Structure 1
Amino acid sequence: MERLDKRVAGSLTRFYVVALCVVAMLTISGLFLIRRTISSLNHDSRVVNVAGRQRMLSQRLTKLALLKVNKTPASDSVRFSVLLNQWRTSHEQLASRRLPIEDGVVTWKSAALDTMFSELEPVFDEMHSQFLAVDSDSISSTEMQDALQVILKNEPLYLDQMDKIVFQFDKESFQRLENLERIEWILGIMTILVLLAEGLLIFRPVVNTTRRVVRMLTESEVALQLSNQKLKETNLQLLDIQKELLVVEEEKYELQLAEDRIRAASLIEGQEEERKRFALELHDGIGQMLTGLKLHAEKLKSVQFHDEKNQKRFEQLVSLIQDIIQTTRQISFNLMPSVLNDFGLTSALKLLCEQTTEVSRAQVDFEGDTSERIPMSNLMETSLYRIAQEALNNAVKHAQASRIKIKLEHTRNRVILEIADDGKGFSVDDLKTENFPVTSGNGMENIRTRSQLLNGKIEIISKIDGGTKLVLEVEL
């Protein structure tokens, strides 16, 4: 125990000494960087030089303007326009507080200098415009003389203001230098004080506290190992319990799925039986009575009506009876088409396409072999027919398709039903993934439920404005 305490304390002592050395080195480096920053103030001399050069350029431009107005040859080799552009550029750089140098751009902030340049701006603009007038060859001698007088009048004001600006630059540069020197001394003294405080107030307490904490941790190590052993045993027991719970949950989920399928199958079977019964009632009951009514009405055609209006009403009555008979037959067919039981799925789908084409604006085509009946159970035939009927209804009413194709293929052990349309389409990701009951009124859910009951593989391919394609594959 004691060896561990001493070893930890010695390591911490060495680390802390290294840390103190690093702090000292950082402090010295900070002082060095401050000295380098002070040396960077040499850029201020460049600003002062540019400001002083502005005075020289204004005097030089005034001299050249005077010589040009008096038509005296000048010994100055630099063009007047070049000097004027240099004078204007330097003024804009100083006024905007951005002066380019060899290795970058010098910027500064000074409310006093901004005020001075604001006061100088009207004088500079007046002189600059008059210099441009003197440099122009399109004005008369009198106008040149007037421009020269304006320049001579404003030059003393410009030079006086530039003197103030130069002195202000120099004053601010000296103040920055003094501030940096004061900061340097303050940082040095504070660093020394921090080092002394660390040694007296932190180093020794940290060592003592660390030694005590390490002793306590060492003493509790054995107890912790025992607790860990007990926790491992408890965790193993919990893992076994979790595995058993997972098995129970999976069995419960499978059982619930099976119950849902049985319930859905029973519900669908009940619906189909009710539809069949109701279709027979319509066909054999109301349909026969309407047919008899139509026959009796047709026998009355030979009767002469004295009133022409009664004759038209009778004709309308006969036509209405015929429409009711046709509607009743259509409803009976939709509930349970007799051709499905008599001739099989292929013939029923072909007749469904023909009738849908007649009553809707869409062109519905069927592709399949109608020469033989596919051997399958009545439940499978009914389910496939309802799936095709639901998909066709969705394509006509919701997708607003103009062309629909139903294709039925079969091999020895497989049936493939395909319904494709050129309608509006939809996003497949928006389809619900939960298993809703068939009575919810959701067409896609009805299709999905029936396909699950058949143990079929269903694939829905659709995109916005790209049509929809439904492919169902069922094993025989």
Structure 2
Amino acid sequence: MSQLDQQVARRLTRFYVMALTILAVLTVSGLLFIKDTINNHYDDSRVLNVAGRQRMLSQRLTKLSLLKTGGVTAMDNVHFDSLLTTWSTSHMQLRQGMLRMEKTYAVRKSAVIDSMFTRIDPAFESLRQSFVRINEAGSSPAQKQQALQVVLRDEPAYLRQMNDIVFRFDAESFARVRYLERVEWILGLTTLLVVLIEGLFIFRPVVRHTRNTVRMLSESEEALRLVNEQLETANRTLAVTNRKLTDTQTELLRIEDEKYQLQRAEDTVRSAALLEGQEEERRRFARELHDGIGQMLTGLKLQAGSIKKGPFTDEKQRTRFDELTALIQDTIQATRQISHNLMPSVLGDFGLGAALKLLADQSTQTSGIPVFYEGDDRNIRLSPATAISLYRIGQEALNNAVKHADPKAIWMTLNHTRNNVILTVADDGNGFTAPAAENVPLYSSSSKGLDNISTRVRLLNGELKISSKLKKGTKIWVKLTLTDPLLH
């Protein structure tokens, strides 16, 4: 019922507004047209007045010329120069179509008036030059008399043609007034016609539509009541269905969340087992290098030392033997370095701080880039898994900085309290613009470095922050919160 009432009200309002708009447009259009025509007529009156004044000014100039030439003192106190300037300027402005006085007036001219100004121009120019010559102080009496004769000869033609121009201005202005009267009649008749049309084609259909609407409302009231009852029953059924659907969706979300948590737990266990196996394999391989190949290389070095005590046939053999001995020593040193990188013994013997300091020193020697370590070298009692993970994080970050950042210096810091351990690795290298995230490459297109670091931090339940800017370096910050207080 309410919607139908609104529909009828909107339709009535639409028709009513449309009818009033048409009337308003016609009325306002007529008023604007009349106002514009009156303004133009005011301009026409001003132009007509100035055109008529031109005749009077030319006559006054002629009179003053006669008096000047005859040497008679004029009772007219207007300066000849000012009068001549006003007359000439007004003529030129009328000719150009723009009259500038207290404001600018548009001179509406027809082609006939333009041709009339063209015909009057020779007489005007002749009079103007003659007036100028009469007014010039350097002109001789004969020249002034000659100029006066020209004025007396051309002034009648000028006055006659100027009189025709004034009457033509007046005729065209009167024609525009008559045109205004016709337009007013047309607008009035159009308004009456629009009112008649609106009565026949707008208000009568609206009344008929309103009567039909009222009848339809009366007939549909009972049907609407029955439909409302059915709709209420359907709404109750729908509400029950919606509640069941909501419960089902909640249960599905819970199951999906449990599945996701289970997958994360499985991934964590799998990653931890993989890293543990990797570390165990590194430990075994380092032990085999140290105890197997390392011992054999040491024995080879000792045997070479015993051979060196014997005689050599020539100096060339001794030189080659010395080179062989140096090569054996370099191989022993490389084997020790590989064994240390795989599983540094200093980590188990002296703790994380000493291992990181030794890592910084070795990186400085091998890369030539100064690596500064700051932290407590005393043994921090951590679980073996935690200690080796923090060491690998520092090692990974340091290797990435050396390989990809092109830094001038690297800083490694290890801070700890009773419950927290904080490891930072910072450099002043190239940096990068990518956001610090677990799946974003650290220094190069490969994401392996950051993946390894983020995986180890996640397995330790720690926090990872990476900040970097182009040409301003990168900083990696790792914080572990330990359940057991640290023992120093």
Q: Give the TM interval when normalised to the shorter protein.
A: 0.5 to 0.7
Q: 3-state DSSP class of the match of 2:430?
A: coil
After superposition, the C-alpha distances for 1:109-129 in whole angstroms (9 at most, x for unaligned) are xxx99xx99xx9xxxxxxxxx
- Residue equivalent to 1:194: 201
Q: Cα 1:386–1:430, aligned 2, differ >3 Å: closer, same or farther? A: closer
Alignment of 1:65-464 (within 5 A): 75-77=80-82, 184=191, 187-196=194-203, 198-199=205-206, 202-295=209-302, 299-300=307-308, 303=312, 305=314, 317-370=324-377, 372-427=378-433, 429=435, 431-432=437-438, 442-464=448-470
For structure 2, list consecutive stretches of 5 or more residues without a partner in the other structure: 60-67, 69-77, 118-127, 133-137, 139-160, 441-445, 483-488
After superposition, the C-alpha distances for 1:252-304 in whole angstroms (9 at most, x for unaligned) are 22211111110110011111111122222333333334444455556459635
- Residue equivalent to 1:144: none
Post-superposition offset of 1:326: 3.3
Partner Cα distance (2:89, 2:30) in 1? 39
Q: 3-state DSSP class of the match of 1:242?
A: helix
Give the one of 37, 46, 50 matched to 2:32: 37
Q: Cα 1:313–1:78, aligned 2, differ >3 Å: closer, same or farther? A: farther
AA aligned to 1:226 is T
Post-superposition offset of 1:389: 0.9
AA aligned to 1:40 is K
Q: Cα 1:395–1:29, aligned 2, differ >3 Å: closer, same or farther? A: same
Q: 3-state DSSP class of the match of 2:293?
A: helix
Partner Cα distance (2:258, 2:40) in 1? 85
Partner Cα distance (1:356, 1:387) in 2? 15
Q: Determine if contact 2:436/2:465 at 8 Å carries over to the other structure.
A: no
Q: Cα 1:15–1:276, aligned 2, differ >3 Å: closer, same or farther? A: closer
Partner Cα distance (2:56, 2:326) in 1? 113
After superposition, the C-alpha distances for 1:178-213 in whole angstroms (9 at most, x for unaligned) are 986786566545434432453366334444444455
Deviation larger for 173-182 or 334-343: 173-182
Post-superposition offset of 1:227: 0.9
Q: Cα 1:75–1:401, aligned 2, differ >3 Å: closer, same or farther? A: same
Deviation larger for 314-323 or 281-290: 314-323
Q: 3-state DSSP class of the match of 1:460?
A: strand
Q: Cα 1:338–1:178, aligned 2, differ >3 Å: closer, same or farther? A: farther
- Residue equivalent to 2:142: none
Q: Determine if contact 2:23/2:194 at 8 Å carries over to the other structure.
A: no
AA aligned to 1:390 is E
Partner Cα distance (1:92, 1:280) in 2? 111
Supply the RMSD in Å over aligned alpha carbons: 6.0
For structure 1, list consecutive stretches of 5 or more residues without a partner in the other structure: 64-71, 95-99, 121-130, 136-140, 142-155, 435-439
Partner Cα distance (1:324, 1:58) in 2? 121
Q: Cα 1:182–1:465, aligned 2, differ >3 Å: closer, same or farther? A: farther
Q: Determine if contact 2:436/2:467 at 8 Å carries over to the other structure.
A: no
Q: Determine if contact 1:427/1:464 at 8 Å carries over to the other structure.
A: yes
Partner Cα distance (1:407, 1:200) in 2? 90
Deviation larger for 255-264 or 356-365: 356-365
Partner Cα distance (1:361, 1:383) in 2? 26
After superposition, the C-alpha distances for 1:21-45 in whole angstroms (9 at most, x for unaligned) are 6555444433332232222323444
Partner Cα distance (1:281, 1:182) in 2? 116
Q: 3-state DSSP class of the match of 1:412?
A: coil
Q: How many residues align?
A: 433
Partner Cα distance (2:89, 2:320) in 1? 107
Partner Cα distance (1:257, 1:414) in 2? 25
Q: Determine if contact 2:436/2:466 at 8 Å carries over to the other structure.
A: no
Q: Cα 1:260–1:16, aligned 2, differ >3 Å: closer, same or farther? A: closer
